[in-house]
Amino acid sequence: MRRPVSRRLPLATCPPLSCGAQAIPLYQKALAGLAAGGLGALVGTPADLTLIRMQADNTLPVEQRRNYKVRPLTRSLQEETTR
């Protein structure tokens, strides 16, 4: 996810027709990389949390399992978000 965002974000700020043959400035490349990393972290962290919980659930005794099947991500978000 990070690569497509970091490649396209500088083009959104300076389309090829308006910039001509000029190189994209370093600060725009840095901002594009920062935005791509942030978006990747926002999407990837909850998905990794869900994956770890689903894998760890199988190691628990049967009576302690949470039986994540359909909506582990939404269940985690509902139970653990700050209000």
Q: Which two tokens stand for residue 60?
A: 């628990």
pLDDT value, residue 11: 59
Cα(7)–Cα(51) distance, rounded to whole angstroms?
28
Q: What is the pLDDT of residues 5-47, one digit of tens each?
A: 656 665 565 555 555 557 778 888 888 889 888 988 888 888 8
Q: What is the pLDDT of residues 42-73, one digit of tens each?
A: 888 888 888 888 888 888 898 888 877 767 77
Cα(62)–Cα(32) distance, rounded to whole angstroms?
47
Read off the amino acid at residue 30.
A
pLDDT value, residue 70: 65
pLDDT value, residue 47: 81
